[in-house]
A and B are shown apart, each in its own frame.
Chain A
Amino acid sequence: MTANRNGYTRRETLGLGAAALAAGTLGMPFVRTARAQAATFKAGVITSLSGENILGGNLTKQGYDLWADAVNAKGGVEVAGEQFKVEMFYGDDQSNPATGADAAERLIVQNEVDVLFGPYTSGSTIAVQPICQKYQVPMISGSAESPNVWKAKPEFNFGIIPAVDTTSGLSIGVLAKQSNPAAKTVAVIGVNEPFSKETGEGFRDGVAAAGLELAAYELVPPDGDLTPVISKIAALNPDVVAVGGHEEILINVVKTSKSLNFRPKALIMHYGITNPAFAQALGADADGTTGVVVWLPTVAYKDDVFGTAKEFSDMAAKKLGGEPDYTAAGCAASGLVLGDALKRLGKKPALTPEDRVALKDAIAETDIQTFYGPIKFEKDGPHYHDNVQPVPVLVQIQSGKVVAVGPKEAAAADYIYPLPAWK
């Protein structure tokens, strides 16, 4: 019960020592590391490696990496006759906007990146935009699909994939045209989470635009059970069921529908059915599911980094163990936009703050052809800085493979409609 002469107990001394040690360790990162010898362009990737958006987050990272690997294998980005390699830095946003903002600040201040590649979730993207603005660092978002991102007119952010309100709505009309006998009634399920809800709303508005009848519009919480809503929709017996959700819910929708023996004439879902894991998880039950994509490995586009879409797909398949979907493609194409803008800018690394603003202006003037398709950013309107060039393609899983079924000029196979009963 007695303290030492100096008033400290041994435990206190131990504790102070530990605190000093901790302070020392924490102090270390404050020391700035000198730039590496060979100059490189530094790019920061913010994406969801944990939390609820892990699928999209990981596909996004894979896409950005595909470009970095491909361009580095060719010696780097060519600027004014010299080649510079690209160095990638990563920040996990934990599917959380605040962590996304932390990651952006770290990549810009700590890693001194010249440019950012944007997050998968719209929440993170919206939280990161002001930070890009603050430091005047351009960001290219290869996967953000939410229309909310572009409503704020972000000066420094650019989107490769058209906002989902422009694609999911159109796809219902395409589906109605491809179906024979023509589909008349549609029930829409939207999962009540960012992006999925907007996808659902896109489907809902598309139903009206295509002159079809909306049998039901249901918002379901992401943690809820799907049997009640599927039973309710089954009782209304619509021709088409459209679902806006993420991969886990989509898998559960198919499983629940089958276990309740409900098979609509068409089931259209967005986003995630083109990821190989979807067909893997469901086996033969995945067959017949319709999806919406803005890119497929079979499209007839090409560029000089990746070659044709098919060559890109083969390279990606070798690295990732499965055909890439349009998220990975959009993210890889983000790199092409950066490479093109850097070439036109003609400034060597490291970029000065003025260079980065000029780079932003160069990106805004992008007008290129890539394996992903034409890329050109909107200069005004509700989709400011989004690339709305790609047209949605309707795909269907047939014998485990994703094939294009509409619109007519893009179709590689006949659309299976109505779907046969469950096996």
Chain B
Amino acid sequence: MKRKALLSVLLVLIIIAATACNGGGDSASEIFIASANPMTGDSAQFGDMKVKAIELALDEINEEGGIDGKNVKLIVGDDTGNPKEAPNVAQKFAGDDKILAVIGHWNSSCTLAARGIYEAASLPVITDSVNKQITDGTTPHMYRISLTDTTQAYNLAQYAFNKLGKKNAAILFTANDFGTGLKNDFTDEFERLGGTIVASETYFEGQSKDFSPQLTKIKGQNPDVIFIAGYYVETALIAQQAGPIGLDVPMIGTEGISSEELIKLGGDAVEGIRFAAFFHPEVEFPGTKEFVEAFRSKYNKEPDNYAALAYDSTKLILEGIKQNGATRDGITSYLNDVEDFPGVAGPISFVDNDVTRNILILEVKNGKIDLADIQLD
């Protein structure tokens, strides 16, 4: 019995030693940045897309020989999209001095829960979460590369009212901070313009699959446009289920649905949906074409909004390291000063930690995502 136990102890030690050797690396000759995004759980696909884009950017720089001869490596953290896990990931990165910058927290709730920890460690973070409180001035190391929910909602409300001439809108929103924030801001702006919100219904991301009661109820209120404040999976389902119910009105959405997956999942039903986005392969900026081609050939997938923003975030951080050296403060001061950095989704400058960029309106046409004929001014 005793010998058996001894043997197993030995075995475990060997295994641990073997795995430890694999993981070790020479940190002096390498530079580390981190991704803190959902890799498992309901929103894992978004984190997956971001990590793919970050790795693409790192591969590019490492093929060129890295920065000053040092390879740049990515450490992937998994916040599972849950604000309970996010602070743990944040603390792990914040306490690890070799990590220079973090790309992430896709979910606003995660960013909100974790931002204090990053701040205490002066660790620069570039996020694509949209909740406006993230950049309320208390966390100067937190940069946002996408636009706030408020800006998006205002723009979409103006688009629906002024450009499409719609007066009665119905809202279908996902019950998280993203969806409720959008719903409130869209309602405010649309009503300020003189329109009416005839119905606001909710659902749960990753859980709701059946939208027929909500859609039937919306149909009863006769809206002339539906605003979907959610992500692409549910939007595809909503569009599919609207048809059989007999609800045939134009739908608009946010950057949350700007993905090729929307069309794969929704098929014909999503034809004609218009939505806000920051990135489209055909809206070319310097590097856009190369990025899209490299992404396609490496992953056999179309890069989406989040991939493009994650790619730009990585490039920004790498440029900061190149210019100001491999320190957290160097990257932070670079991000503060950067002006019109040539990103694949348009030039990037930060004002009060928020990016300034234009909103594109995209439309699903003939099974493809295209620029809409009518754009915002």
Chain A complexes with chain B: no
Q: Which residues of B line the A interface, CB within 8 A?
A: none
